[in-house]
């Protein structure tokens, strides 16, 4: 009985492939562009189930190193440069594919090196057939090029719009910044008399120097003041229970200003210690000595300042606040109050750099504002800043540091 069954199976296989088949491929080259996926068509005719056949796809003179070799019902080998990007168009469990004699090759992620002839050879014992499919690789189609350039133009247009919208922030990086009504704007020509490409003339600033001392009568109880009213720091016993910067820990200058230009300097690295991480320096309206909460420290309430809040960086109290990146951290801060022009300017004296200018309108008497923060080893000291002795020759010199005479 077993012999009969084996004989019937052999007879069935003989009948299945008794008629010799031919390999059919398209007559014209297959064209595809770089990076795309392509099918190299190849069929056997008449259509037969090709799952039991040997299918070899190879390139010219590379028979022994096939692109893909299928045998014994599975893929046996794939050439190294085609790994993970080639397969047969077999659809397991469905009609079509190998079951219907479709032995086409699928190639993905095409490169220019893939261009050329691909031989499709199908064989089983005495039945054999082989044909070549030519593959031509092109650049992306005109449509894709057009789409690419359209997207590129839109992206450039959007980038240009962003640059235009934020042009003031970008163009002010060299001249310095001015904060006006909560926004950064470029410095006007009147401000350029104190800065050129960020550099400043320290001696020119000191022409407006005034002697500033702390007002001991309006000193927060959590602060310690030296007898000369020049140095202040947080009391080690002060318990800061709130979150964030201790805005209430304020000290005020004893001097009042209602007009003119006034300049003073603050030492933030007293005694060679590292620069302070926490401080607040600016001006306040006279009489605004009591700070109840964080929301009270606004320009509308009579406060204008620059704050260093440790790892949270630097910011102004404008609405909205403007965050700044100041590197290196200032060791000595210069402050220039131009009451009549409504400008409060800050300078990194050691680096001879203008940092920013807050622009507003002063209508009442203002006083210098200080806050040493908490947690720093360093103290905050108001420096003696005598006016420079000006000779007749010096009085004729320009306000800016000018290197034009070098040439």
User: What is the distance between the alpha carbons of residues 398 and 394, in angstroms, rounded to a whole number?
Assistant: 9
> DSSP string of 8-65?
HHHHHHHHHTSS--EEE--SSPEEEETT--EEE--EEES----TTSEEEEEETT-TTS
Length of the chain: 407
Q: What is the pLDDT of residue 187?
A: 41
292 — pLDDT class (breaks 50, 70, 90): low
User: What is the distance between the alpha carbons of residues 260 and 237, in angstroms, rounded to a whole number?
Assistant: 40
Backbone φ and ψ for 13, nearest 5 degrees, come out as -65, -40
247 — pLDDT class (breaks 50, 70, 90): confident
pLDDT digits (tens, 9 = 90+) for 276-291: 999 999 999 998 776 6
Q: What is the pLDDT of residue 96?
A: 64
- The CA-atom distances, in angstroms, between 371 and each of 205, 275, 385 are 23, 15, 20
User: What is the distance between the alpha carbons of residues 321 and 315, in angstroms, rounded to a whole number?
Assistant: 6
| Two structure tokens written together for 328 | 């290196």
Number of Cβ within a 10 Å radius of residue 24: 16
Which of 27-41, 267-281, 303-317, 393-407 shows the lowest per-residue confidence on average (mean pLDDT)? 393-407
Q: What is the pLDDT of residue 185?
A: 46
Q: What is the pLDDT of residue 318?
A: 87
List beta partners, residue 138.
Answer: 33
Mean pLDDT of the chain: 81
Question: At which residue do the structure tokens 């202040």 appear?
Answer: 232
User: What is the distance between the alpha carbons of residues 135 and 40, in angstroms, rounded to a whole number?
Assistant: 8
Residues 6 or more apart whose Cβ sits within 8 Å of residue 74: none
> Could you tell me if residue 101 is left (phi over 0), alpha (psi between -120 and 50 degrees) or otherwise beta?
left
Percent of the chain residues topping a pLDDT of 90: 44
Residue 342, pLDDT > 60, answer yes
Q: How far apart are the first and last CA of the chain?
A: 113
Q: In what order do the strands lie in the sheet with 366-371?
A: 251-252, 366-371, 278-285, 303-309, 314-316, 323-324
User: What is the distance between the alpha carbons of residues 206 and 407, in angstroms, rounded to a whole number?
Assistant: 28
User: What is the distance between the alpha carbons of residues 21 and 114, in angstroms, rounded to a whole number?
Assistant: 29
Q: What is the pLDDT of residue 359?
A: 93
Residue 175, pLDDT > 50, answer no
The DSSP output letter for 271 is G
């Amino acid at each position: 009985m077993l012999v009969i069954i084996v004989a019937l199976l052999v007879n069935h296989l003989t009948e299945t492939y008794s008629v010799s088949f031919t390999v059919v491929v398209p007559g014209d080259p297959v064209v595809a562009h770089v990076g795309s996926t392509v099918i190299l068509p190849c069929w056997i005719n008449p259509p037969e189930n090709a799952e039991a056949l040997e299918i070899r796809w190879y390139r010219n003179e590379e028979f022994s190193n096939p692109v893909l070799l299928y045998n014994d019902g599975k893929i046996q080998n794939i050439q190294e440069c085609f790994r993970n990007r080639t397969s047969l168009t077999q659809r397991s469990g469905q009609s079509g594919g190998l079951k219907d004699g479709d032995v086409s090759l699928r190639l993905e992620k095409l490169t220019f090196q893939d261009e050329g002839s691909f031989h499709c050879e199908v064989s089983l014992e005495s039945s054999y057939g082989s044909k070549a499919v030519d593959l031509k690789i092109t650049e992306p189609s005109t449509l894709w090029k057009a789409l690419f350039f359209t997207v590129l133009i839109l992206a450039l247009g959007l980038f240009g719009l962003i640059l235009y919208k934020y042009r003031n922030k970008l163009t002010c990086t060299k001249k310095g910044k001015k904060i006006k009504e909560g926004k950064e704007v470029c410095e006007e020509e009147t401000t350029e008399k104190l800065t050129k490409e960020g550099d400043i003339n320290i001696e020119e600033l000191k022409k407006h120097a005034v002697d500033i001392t702390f007002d001991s009568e309006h000193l927060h109880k959590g602060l310690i003041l030296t007898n000369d009213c020049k140095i202040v720091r947080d009391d080690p016993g002060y318990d800061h229970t709130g979150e964030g910067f201790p805005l209430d820990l304020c000290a005020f200058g004893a001097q009042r200003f209602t007009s003119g230009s006034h300049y003073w300097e603050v030492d933030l690295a007293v005694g060679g210690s590292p620069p302070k991480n926490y401080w607040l320096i600016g001006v306040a309206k006279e009489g605004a000595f009591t700070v109840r909460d964080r929301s009270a420290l606004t320009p509308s309430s009579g406060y204008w300042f620059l704050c260093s809040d440790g790892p949270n960086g630097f910011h102004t109290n404008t609405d909205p606040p403007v965050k700044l990146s100041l590197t290196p951290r200032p060791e000595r801060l210069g402050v220039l109050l131009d009451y009549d022009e409504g400008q409060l300017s800050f300078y990194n004296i050691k680096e001879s750099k203008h940092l920013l200018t807050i622009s507003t309108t002063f209508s009442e008497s203002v006083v210098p504002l200080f806050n040493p923060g908490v947690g720093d080893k360093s103290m905050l000291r108001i420096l003696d800043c005598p006016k420079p002795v000006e000779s007749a020759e010096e009085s004729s010199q320009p306000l800016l540091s000018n290197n034009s005479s070098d040439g």
